[in-house]
Amino acid sequence: RPVPDLAALVVIDFEWTADKGRKMLPCCEIIQFPAVIVRFDGRHAPSTVLPDHFDTFVRPRFNPALTAFSKELCGISQDQVDVAPDLSEVLPQFLRWLEGLGLVTPDGEKDETSGRWCFATWSDADIGGTLVAQLEAYDMRLPACFSDWVDLKLLFRRHYKHGPSGGLKRCVEYLGLKFEGHAHNGLVDAQNTARLAAHMAQRS
């Protein structure tokens, strides 16, 4: 199967602080935290991207002034992050959103009474790289529900062996879909990744 046998995927695509040719120290920090749900069960079968989503800008601590590179790439302004909440506020908000959907318990554990689900990302950089490193730098605990995730980029390469090895936009278009919105906006990328996952599931 090109997509795992699950009831749902929670697709996330963070945007984070960056600069051209310079490493962000002590770590990259998330500046946009979006999530989109794809369901594969019941009336949503074979796959449906739900209209409800989570999305917020996040204020970085270590490098609060966005670089020109970040602003141009992501289309995020300094004013948007200046008034945004800190990750210590955003993460509990996100968990409450997931709890409202019946996906996590109040203590951040996965709730799979309505079916198995998993996070999904386009590469391991979002959770395995950026989120883990930032939480460690902030002395914050990684919620238990982030214990595993699906790398859709890897699944795409394994299933479509002769498909593009490039970025998300090229892969979406390879499937005959139109990439909708401005690339490198986190919510736009998450929505297009969710559409790609839904399309792959329909052909499994």
Mind telling me the catalytic residues?
15, 184
Q: What distances in angstroms separate CA 148 from CA 128, 158, 167, one per listed residue? A: 9, 19, 23
**Residues 196/152, Cβ–Cβ less than 8 Å:** yes
**Residues 157/108, Cβ–Cβ less than 8 Å:** no
Residue 68, classed as helix, strand or coil, is helix
Peptide bond into 2 cis (omega under 30): no
What's the token pair of residue 55? Answer: 């999305």
Q: Is 15 exposed, middle or buried (0-12, 13-18, 19+ CB in 10 A)?
A: buried
Q: Is 166 exposed, middle or buried (0-12, 13-18, 19+ CB in 10 A)?
A: exposed
